[in-house]
Structure 1
Amino acid sequence: MEAFLKPRCIEVYDHVESTMDVEPPELPGVVIALTQLRGRGRSGRWISPRGGAWLTFSASRGPPGSWLPVAVGGCVAEEVERLLQRERYKPIIRVKWPNDLYIDRGKVGGILVVYKNGVLKIGVGINVYNAVPPGGAKLSAYGYKRSLADIYLAIIKGIGRALVSPEDCLWEASRRDMLRECKVVVSTERGILEGIALGLTPSGALLVETKNGVSRVECCGIISWDCMGDTKAWNKTPNLNNISLQEKNIPSRQLAEG
């Protein structure tokens, strides 16, 4: 059984401006809202209507590393995917570095990590039964028929695993990497980088092959990507035995402490 950080309390609201703005009475704690009026994502507003799963997991921790949203994505994807059942097709939830979850070509979820005054907040939103914007996907379209409560518990467990055993979750994110072999334009701390994504390192960085060599990118986000030139990038099932990780792994204690 996987170890994970369990919240001491879970508060559920009918609606809030954003779960990221609500303080749980105890830490670690979880705030859930059936609707967010002003949900937030890394790129701005996240549409959060009734029928989706919207929560924030708060914990007393040190400043997070850039790897954390990647680790959360890996284990949340794994936990949620376990709930998906369909007779002929079990969809694979992929991780789009650094903080998005996709099924096929549709965004099904997102992750936001914020650190302030010694409190780490990890927000996760998953489309389940709700209406989705263009380019979105939802779990119910892929055979999910169970309750929202099961999705919430899967998200909480995934986040809790990332905080306890991040190296396992980063490995999971690597095998689910949807950008591998795709052309990418990446925003970095040093400017814009263009090239071919080669995969993720064990510490959650994105490897990009450019005309000047291979760059290791830890921050900040994907501006655009193109996988249409290689249909395998979209359709192939991740092969656990076909992941090349050249970087030495980081001990779990070092990762957990940021």
Structure 2
Amino acid sequence: MDIHWFESLESTQVYLLEELKASRLSAPVCIGAVSQTQGKGSRGNSWTGMSGNLFISLAIPRSMLPDDLKLESSSIYLAFMMKDFLTSLNSNVWLKWPNDFYIDDKKIGGVITNLMGETLVCGIGLNLVSAPECFAKIDIDVDAYDLTEGYCSLFKNLPPWKQIFSKYQIEFENSRKFFTHNNNEKVALERAVLLEDGSLECDGQRIFSLR
């Protein structure tokens, strides 16, 4: 996977989507920046950050992904791959359903996914060197570009969804003391049932993980 690295972008996600639409780039490809000024988070929130943190967006053709991976599961799949890679570097990071990276009880980053035709566009932000108030940074010393290279190398041999999900089922228990959002409303995860496609059954509602 080609990596295009910039000193600064308004948003790696917006830049990548614009380049794909204009056919100046094609999947698979990764865009990264040392800093970004108008990053996109989930539910329309911003994800800006200080120089040295991780700001990347990847475009992945659907044909490259495992046959058993449903698009509804892609947020968990791509986020858990990053979580697993960070664990291999001795981090204690864990994945709160469906797309937030945590150290203990504080968020350090997250993933957003969008579908553009047959291409999945995934943005990942992680606090590596500094964090805003009420957030935390990762518990290991890792360079943003080195982390990007390591993560992108995983796409040479992607594991099946079943393998990722079997690990995440165990980790999901850490999410139970938290909330998620559905239609801008808070939903407690205490009694949620994790379904095989990564969605949840919560108080009679089905909440999907793709976001």
Global fold match (TM > 0.5) = yes
Paired residue secondary structure (2:7): strand
CA distance in 2 between counterparts of 1:183 and 1:61 reads 32
Compute the displacement of 1:96 (Å): 1.2
**Structure 2 equivalent of residue 26 of structure 1:** 26
**For residues 169-226 of structure 1, what are the alpha-carbon distances to aligned partners after superposition, in whole Å with 9 as ceiling and x for unaligned?**
222322222213x36465169x875562345333212243x4xxxx4633269xxxxx
Residue number in structure 2 paired with 1:66: 72
1:82 aligns with 2:88: yes
Q: Tell me the residue number matched to 1:104.
A: 104
- The 8 Å contact of residues 41 and 112 in structure 1, kept in 2 or not, is answered as yes
Q: Which of the numbers 1, 4, 10 marks the counterpart of 2:3?
A: 10
| Equivalent-residue separation in structure 2 for 1:49 and 1:205 (angstroms) | 33
TM-score scaled by length of structure 1:
0.65
Verify: 1:135 aligned to 2:134, yes or no: yes
Q: Does 1:172 align with 2:170?
A: no
* Count of paired positions: 196
Corresponding position of 1:151: 147
Aligned to 1:120: 120
Give the whole-Å Cα distance in 2 for the aligned partners of 1:205 and 1:162.
25
Q: State the alpha-carbon separation in 2 of the partners of residues 82 and 33 from structure 1.
A: 24
* Aligned residue in 1 for 2:58: 57
Seq. identity, %? 19
Distance 1:192 1:80, change over 3 A: closer
Equivalent position to 2:199, from 174, 194, 205 = 205
Q: Go from structure 1 to structure 2 and tell me whether the alpha carbon gap of 1:216 and 1:171 turns closer, same or farther (over 3 Å shift).
A: farther
Point out the structure with max Rg over C-alpha.
Answer: 1
- 1:252 maps to what in 2? none
Q: CA deviation at 1:45?
A: 0.4
1:50–1:183 distance in 2 versus 1, CA, 3 Å: closer
Question: Is contact 2:7-2:33 (8 Å) kept?
Answer: yes
Distance 2:141 2:189 in 1: 40
- 1:115 maps to a residue whose letter is L
Note the residue ranges of structure 2 that are not aligned, 5 or more in a row.
Answer: 64-69
CA contact (8 A) 2:199 2:209 kept: no
Tell me which residue corresponds to 2:67: none
* CA distances 1:31-53 after superposition (whole Å, capped 9, x unpaired): 11111111101131002221111
Gaps of 5+ in 1: 1-6, 85-90, 222-258
Normalising by structure 2, we get a TM-score of: 0.78
User: What is the CA–CA distance in structure 2 between the aligned matches of 1:220 and 1:73, rounded to whole Å?
Assistant: 11
Deviation at 1:145, TM superposition (A): 2.5
